[in-house]
Amino acid sequence: VIKCRAAVAWALGKPLSLEEVEVAPPKAGEVRIKIVATGICHTDEHILEGLFPNVEFPVIPGHEGAGIVESIGEGVTSVKPGDKVIPICLPHCGECSFCLNPESNYCLKCHLSESQSVLPDKTTRFTCKGKQIHHFLWVSSFAEYTVIPENAVAKIDAAAPLDKVCVLGCAFPTGYGAAINTAKVKAGSSCAVFGLGGVGLSVIMGCKAAGAARIIAIDINKDKFAKARELGATDCISPHDFKKPIQEVITEMTGHGVDYSFEVIGLAETMVASLASCNMNTGVCVMVGVPPAGKEISIDPMLVFSGRTWKGTLLGGWKNRDFLSKLVSSYLEKKFNLDVLITHRLPIAKVNEGFELLCAGK
């Protein structure tokens, strides 16, 4: 058993509490990882607000980490102690009908199909003050050590800087892949990106890499515009600057609407606005932001009857156990710039300050 620090969410709506936790050794098919760096994602904030489905408290959040394998359980063959790895919040069992489908990146062992508040044997590896602490998405990267099933771990290049490639655990591949894999953005096309956080900026990078001619970036926080332009946005607009709905503004800017639109916020009203912003016949709208659990959306059926495509994306459509190592290699080859997504570096003791910065749009 390893004793280490972790940021624990004891109850809904409470700040995270830095605690000493005990982390049990990995069982068969499991990997214990020393987490070196972790990003903070808005999905982690959703846990604390009660907006993410099927989370049990107390829990150690975090799902965007990178680290080094400390030990392995019986039967583990894909990694060994000392390997650099990224935990994957969308596992890849390699056996279910989705994993065997080359066009799918879903897995029946992911959180949408079964609880990931406990490991597959229905127990946890975390204990604090005599209580069992739950896992989050089998990752729990807000702990200095964590235990994860082998099918949710990707080995990466030993040269990778873990304090940067940690954002490959969620933010970058989700946004970049939404453009490249899910929308399949074409060269010369027009795109609109709603929400310019880390994931939205990654969508812009994907649109630019695909050769989009016009990329309209939309956010109410104008402080985001400089970075969006740096990464490829051609236009930056705030809905607060217009008296008409933003979808009407975008339609007027482009003539008939954009070819591709991306909602990267997770709000019902912006999802509808994003759908209405793409052209009525061949436009493709991708839902990237995580909607609150149980939320329903009302739309005019004519928005899709005329031919628009409305679709979602899970982690940008990547089969991550296969592709994460390739994304890391592409980063090392400077094919894209992750560094621009990193705004602050904080010790784990200041994790609540990190959430304050996130929620303040900084």
Q: Which among 125, 121, 120 has a CA at the least distance from the CA of 107?
A: 120
Do 183 and 275 fall into the same domain? yes
What is the model's pLDDT at position 234? 98
What is the model's pLDDT at position 218? 98
pLDDT by residue for the chain (362 residues), tens digit each? 999 999 999 999 899 999 999 999 999 999 999 999 999 998 899 888 888 878 899 999 999 999 999 999 999 999 999 999 999 999 999 999 999 999 999 999 998 888 889 999 999 999 999 999 999 999 999 999 999 999 999 999 999 999 999 999 999 999 999 999 999 999 999 999 999 999 999 999 999 999 999 999 999 999 999 999 999 999 999 999 999 999 999 999 999 999 999 999 999 999 999 999 999 999 999 999 988 777 888 999 999 999 999 999 999 999 988 899 999 999 999 999 999 999 999 999 999 999 999 988 89
With beta carbons less than 8 A apart as the criterion, state whether 78 and 30 touch.
no
Do 11 and 158 fall into the same domain? yes
Do 9 and 150 fall into the same domain? yes
Do 140 and 46 fall into the same domain? yes
CATH number at residue 355: 3.90.180.10
Q: What angle do CA 210, 213, 214 make, to 5 degrees?
A: 110
Do 211 and 141 fall into the same domain? no
Helix, strand or coil for residue 291?
coil
Do 45 and 98 fall into the same domain? yes
How many domains are contained in the chain?
A: 2
Out of 279, 294, 314, pick the residue that ends a domain.
314
Do 132 and 72 fall into the same domain? yes
Do 124 and 6 fall into the same domain? yes
The pair phi, psi for residue 145, each rounded to 5°, is: -135, 145
Domain carrying residue 218:
174-314
What is the model's pLDDT at position 292? 78
Do 74 and 123 fall into the same domain? yes
What is the model's pLDDT at position 112? 83
The tally of CA atoms less than 13 A away on the side-chain side of residue 362 is 8
Do 116 and 53 fall into the same domain? yes
Q: Are strands 84-87 and 153-155 parallel, antiparallel or unpaired?
A: antiparallel
CATH number at residue 233: 3.40.50.720
What is the model's pLDDT at position 115? 81
Do 292 and 329 fall into the same domain? no
The pair phi, psi for residue 322, each rounded to 5°, is: -85, -35
pLDDT tens per residue, range 62-87 = 999 999 999 999 999 999 999 999 99
Q: Which among 103, 145, 150 has a CA at the least distance from the CA of 128?
A: 145
Number of H helices and number of E strands within the chain?
10, 15
Out of 297, 314, 331, pick the residue that ends a domain.
314
With beta carbons less than 8 A apart as the criterion, state whether 331 and 168 touch.
yes
- Residue 311 bridge partners (DSSP): 286
The tally of CA atoms less than 13 A away on the side-chain side of residue 214 is 15
What is the model's pLDDT at position 332? 96
Which two tokens mark 176? Answer: 């970049």
pLDDT tens per residue, range 100-111 = 999 999 999 998
What is the model's pLDDT at position 131? 97
Do 240 and 304 fall into the same domain? yes
Task: Give the H/E segment covering residue 230.
Answer: helix 225-231
What is the model's pLDDT at position 215? 98
